[in-house]
Chains A and B, each alone.
Chain A
Amino acid sequence: MNLPAETAETETLPARFVALGEAMRAHGMRVGTSEVTDAARVADALGFDRRERLRAGVAAAMLRRSDDRSAFDQLFDIYFPAAAGRRMTGAPAAALDADELRDRLAHALATGDLAAAEQLAAAAVELLGRVGDEAAGWSAAQTLDALAPQRAISAAEELLRGDGPGAGSGPGSGQGTGGAADADTDWAINPWDRQPRRPERFTDRVDRDQLRAGVEAFRRQVETESRRRSAEVRDRERIARLGIPPSIRQRDFLTAGSDQLHQLRRELDPLTRKLAARLTSRERAGRGAVDVRRTLRASMSTGGVPIDPVYQRRAPHRPDLVLLADLSGSVGGFSSFTMLLMQALHQHFRKVRIFGFVSSTAEITDVVRELPPGTSLTSWALSTPDLIGRGTNSNYGWALRTFVRGHLDALGRRSTVLVLGDARGNFADPNTADLHRIADRARHLTWLNPEPEVLWRQGDSAASLYGRIAPMHECRNLEQLRDFVARTLPI
């Protein structure tokens, strides 16, 4: 790796830690002076000869949350690169082309050889990733397009199925044999149609999955490598700021793709647990009154002198949660998130009732429970007569009216009502009277709005009207949701 001595002429080591801290701050991590000092102390204790250990140590000193880890790793790679320039050690540099690289990748995947895969990533960027002349930089997208690493999966699987009896006892065994001559056309054939050349093993069923994960890891290595190479020729701060995707915490719900939904789901579960814990937490306004009977009984062991007063126990407050969710097309991306949130909440609350609406309201608790996680409800909602009583555009006024008319008994003294929606009622009557009725009846009423706050006063948004009755919170990404759960949520 880049020893500090080599870079001493351009910047000192403390300066580099400071720069790393600044880049982390730009990505929304809380890094103070003490963290930077700690990182330097860690580097002092560990030395620079084992890079992965340095990475682990600096992460321990500077990171405070595990979900920042991937962004941190990428920044670390930029500020403490593995090496300068090309690094083709191990792999013969000459006379490689994309096909050959892919064959080698298949081999590395089949044997689970991570070090070889990383070298191949470096070689691939060197060979295929150059944009323009040397000074213009390196592109991961171009490399991956030319290499098409997903095509190595089938070849690797072929290797694992193996010709000989000794071959292919799985990635990690290091026994895969080389020589997949037909590797570059293999990807087109469904592997299940092919006759396996040896008796099936149980682990064959997980091979494909594992290889796919391997290719994903390879893609990330290519991205890291191209960022590293680009950072050498271009401005490091710029790459650090723009080249790294925002962490899942800061990504907009409205634009979340299906791959991010899985990630979201994993993040949501602990959050809903927190939400449930916050809502059920006892009111800790001092202790209850002294329980005279139990105090006297307890005083028997001390000769009738009441030493330890026994207090009355307070019954923990167990809330019911009522969700009222906008399922119309305008919050399409948000509705998959809504769905995830609703399903996650189900696990942690004693009683959750979920109501959905487009232009009229109906209970959808059972529907939500049955559906697979993360399904978008939008198309279902738009074809369900109960939800579109006044057409397929959202109509908040009418939705509130139908809720109050039909389901007001769902609310009780203990209910917390959470409204999820953008408050855009297509200029229909906002009907604040019914929202007042809900607010009066429920213990708490809160509104989560997936739109940025600056848009709340524009167009057909009734957010400012509703916001006077129900505290409205911008909830566009996980960070804001977490903030809401941790701080804003009323108890």
Chain B
Amino acid sequence: MSTPVFTSVDDARDRLAATGYLPSDAIATTVYLAATLGRPLLIEGPAGVGKTALAGALASATGNRLVRLQCYEGVDEARALYEWNHAKQLLRISAEQRGDWEDVRTDIFGEEFLLARPLLTAVRSEQPVVLLIDELDKADEEMEGLLLELLSEFQVTIPELGTIRARHRPLVVLTSNATRELSEALRRRCLFLHIDYPDASLEQRIVQSHVPDLDDVLAESLVRVVGALRRLELRKAPSVAETVDWAGTLLSLGADRLDPRLVRNSLGVVLKHQSDIELAHAKLDLDRELAG
């Protein structure tokens, strides 16, 4: 690696923060290490804590392009790596009916007929890129096998063209929601980062950076109430994104402090299951107005 991406942990933190992503110290440290040691970064954590957003922020912080591979059940080599453009090859063959077969054969397996999918795009890129492999747990296990070569050697072999080696080691970010246990082999190649809900003061800063017009006191009580909600046994705990949504809702309602009626009316923004809403309703005693 020629020039280090980040000079220090503080540098990583500040440059991520400049893109609007406020990282915790642990996140900044791990990102710095992933960039410095040239290792892929495997991120796990509850939904809505900013796993995917971190990859986006990383791309803008380093000024690199973000190449994204969204995994889903049944995603295969043709969707992830490369595919030959059959239709175009056929046109090429029929356009030159009398041509020499040898010429045509070498021709139709040229760059022109290659459809690069995200992984190949990342490897072939002239500029350094950030490669995001999102929700890897949704893909089948064969996909992991495909990634093993890519993640350790950063090269791709296409039988007709030969082996393509990455000019720049891409920063690879993998995210997983743990629907499936990822294989040990893959885990071993990555640095592991578990992102949890941020602590209260960080979350307050995140809320305020997204909703700058929000009153300080309101932001603080909002974050504390969300923290209390997360401690309840809910089916789906409110995510950071939902806290920010709630802050936006309260702002547009013109609220300057929390009161039971307001919370009652806007609770649907943070809680998405009826049973959760009922539980929070009882716990926060929303039918009783504020005393005094």
Contacts and interface: CB of A to CB of B under 8 A. Distances in A.
B30 A57 contact: yes
A170 B184 contact: no
B26 A170 contact: no
A203 B224 contact: yes
Contacts of A66: 44-45, 194
A50 B9 CA distance: 10
B36 A203 contact: no
B148 interface: no
B181 interface: yes
A38 B224 CA distance: 38
A239 to B, nearest CB: 25
Given A69-B194, A200-B292, A202-B260, A262 B227 contact: no
A206 B292 contact: no
A200 B220 contact: no
Interface string B251-292: 000000111100100000000000000000000110000111
B194 A210 contact: no
A52 B9 CA distance: 12
B90 interface: yes
A308 B86 contact: yes
Nearest to B30: A60
A79 B40 CA distance: 27
What 8 A-B pairs come out closest when comparing CB atoms?
A199-B292, A206-B228, A56-B26, A66-B194, A202-B258, A203-B221, A200-B291, A60-B191
Given A172-B224, A203-B221, A213-B231, 20 more contacts: A57-B33, A59-B26, A59-B192, A61-B191, A61-B192, A65-B192, A172-B200, A199-B292, A200-B290, A200-B291, A202-B258, A203-B258, A205-B285, A206-B224, A209-B228, A210-B228, A270-B178, A302-B87, A302-B90, A303-B90
B25 interface: yes
Interface of B: 9, 25-26, 29-30, 32-34, 36-37, 39, 44-45, 86-87, 90, 94, 140, 178-181, 184, 187-188, 191-194, 200-201, 204, 217, 220-221, 224-225, 227-228, 231, 233, 235, 257-260, 263, 284-285, 290-292
Nearest to A209: B228
Interface stretch (A14-22, A29-37, A420-428, A439-447): A29-37
Most chain A C-beta atoms within 10 Å of own C-beta, residue among B29, B90, B181, B217: B29
Contacts of B290: 199-202
30 contacts: A32-B188, A38-B39, A45-B36, A46-B9, A57-B29, A59-B26, A63-B192, A63-B194, A64-B184, A64-B187, A65-B192, A112-B200, A169-B217, A170-B221, A196-B292, A198-B292, A199-B291, A200-B291, A201-B258, A202-B259, A202-B263, A203-B224, A205-B228, A206-B227, A206-B228, A262-B233, A273-B179, A302-B86, A303-B90, A305-B90
A465 interface: no
A227 B39 CA distance: 34
A436 interface: no
A185 interface: no
Nearest to B235: A347
A220 interface: no
A41 interface: yes
Contacts of B235: 347
Nearest to A265: B233
B49 to A, nearest CB: 12
A190 interface: no
A413 interface: no
A407 interface: no
A134 B47 CA distance: 48
A202 B192 contact: no
Contact of A277 (B25, B30, B180, B220): B180
B231 A209 contact: yes
Most chain B C-beta atoms within 10 Å of own C-beta, residue among A56, A63, A173: A56
A173 B94 CA distance: 75
Nearest to A45: B36
Contacts of A486: 181
A88 interface: no
Nearest to A202: B258
Interface in A58-82: 59-61, 63-66, 69
Contacts of A30: 184
A46 B33 contact: yes
A83 B263 CA distance: 46
Given A57-B30, A66-B194, A173 B37 contact: no
